[in-house]
Structure 1
């Protein structure tokens, strides 16, 4: 389950428009036009080069050892118990003012500190490489940090049904034009990326035997709980609950249907438009519930 939680967060929308039309017959048409961003979780050790630069700019620092004091030079005794409670922090034992002052390091101390810094950098670099290897395995061997590889992958993805246009814009951003028609009886998930072992879907359609269709859009919501699940699944070194994936989502998701809308979590409810009932959700990266609606078809 750990890989599922880890990868289930980084397929996010950027600027986009998305529409879903569900007919009473059970036929649906889904469209997504805009950006899909490979938005990775904050990973431990992802700032190796920043740390390396910091270490390069600082010099080893050494300090005088605090003097060993056999007896206090002076102890101020409180007059009363109240004075003891109020002024205990003011008692002094005469530690010399020179304690812990910076001093010039010896060559041995300089070498020791620099060796400790290098150990930290090497450990961070090793951790980054381990995470990159895991990521490539889960993405079918695709190196997401290589632009040529990503452009080749965009061309490969465009060969799949529904992907009318896929252009890699750099910085892990795809510009896509996707449109597909199908039957709700078969269910539907978007996006399905060729070669990716698992992914967090943006939109899911499921049909029940009683004629109801549930539409959920987990990818169109900001959910800090996903980062928390990563921690529980043992992937704490890949992300943490206080530093979740930062979404750049900015767009709108619209559902149109001539079926009976049983439930929905829009802010304003359904509207009428050309014989259809229309639901609309604004998606802007703020903390909102994932769009969801339940529709009964009368076919």
Structure 2
């Protein structure tokens, strides 16, 4: 039963199911960045991320998409319309003037969003590994993050319940057969999943700003990896570098075996 259900969970359907959680959370996407992951055969690892992170207001994007769809319908040609329709100039003349001291709703929304993003920056700065978190405005953060540890359990980043950051850029899954699976969905523009989750954001959305590199450095055995240029060997270590752009569809993925 569970297996059949899992097979039916296409990225689009999964996005729809996750949408209520996404709208209530803070979704971050990479901007311009440099990221690295060093994994040693003895399970020691170091992960770094330096660069921009962009906060996506999925609730706002979803509402905007719904509004744009409604406007499009309203602007359509009505076959039943006649020449008796009130002239446009008369309509304009009848419109009530907007008071000069009226504050646009967009300004209120932006102020609230900026306040939320500053709170997110303050929350993230309390977490170990964040050497610098600066909110730059317009949903953009500057982040310097580095953490080291031992892979005796999985690792996700970014992930912070207090800041409601729930969708990580990278995930390390430690397996029972002495291997670790690395996948970095945040470093690719996986359109099917993102459209299902975000309701289909435009090409001018946050993923259009994706511009960075992710480098894996290891002396463990590389069981598999999906970078077509392969690994570069230097002494006892190998490196694999992925480039992340708006046209990158495949998330960086690799499986390593520990000694």
Would the TM-score normalized by the shorter structure come out above 0.5? yes
Q: 1:59-138 to 2 correspondence within 5 Å?
A: 63-64=82-83, 104=87
Residue by residue over 1:43-102, the C-alpha shift from the partner in whole angstroms, topping out at 9 and shown as x without a partner, is 2436979x99xx9xxxxxx8436xxxxxxxxxxxxxxxxxxxxxxxxxxxxxxxxxxxx7
Counterpart in the other structure of 1:121: none
Unaligned stretches of 5+ in structure 1?
56-61, 66-101, 116-124, 133-142, 231-237
Deviates more, 1:192-201 or 1:240-249: 240-249
SS in 2 for 1:160: coil
* Unaligned segments of structure 2, at least 5 residues: 1-17, 75-80, 97-104
Deviation at 1:295, TM superposition (A): 0.5
> Once the two structures are superposed, what CA deviation does each residue of 1:246-266 show, in whole Å capped at 9, x if it has no partner?
411111000011010011001
Give, in whole Å, the separation in 2 of the partners of 1:217 and 1:266: 13
Cα deviation, 1:279-298, whole Å, max 9, x if unaligned, reads: 11000111320000000111
Aligned CA-pair RMSD: 3.7
Match of 1:251 in 2: 212
TM-score by length of 1: 0.62
The one of 54, 60, 64 equivalent to 1:45 is 64
C-alpha offsets along residues 94-124 of structure 1, whole Å, 9 cap, x if unaligned? xxxxxxxx7758x8xx59x979xxxxxxxxx
Please tell me whether Structure 1 or Structure 2 has the larger radius of gyration of its CA atoms.
1
Write out per-residue CA displacement over residues 2-59 of structure 1, whole angstroms, 9 at most, x where no aligned residue: 334557893110111000000111111001111111134432436979x99xx9xxxx
* Of 161, 171, 181, the match for 1:214: 181
Aligned residue for 1:155?
Answer: 122
Structure 1 range deviating more: 170-179 or 37-46? 37-46
Equivalent-residue separation in structure 2 for 1:212 and 1:184 (angstroms)? 10
Change (3 A) 1:240 1:210: same
Distance 1:240 1:47, change over 3 A: closer
In structure 1, C-alpha distance between the alignment counterparts of 2:181 and 2:161, rounded to whole Å = 25
Q: 1:200 aligns with which of 159, 167, 184?
A: 167
For normalisation by structure 2, the TM-score amounts to 0.71
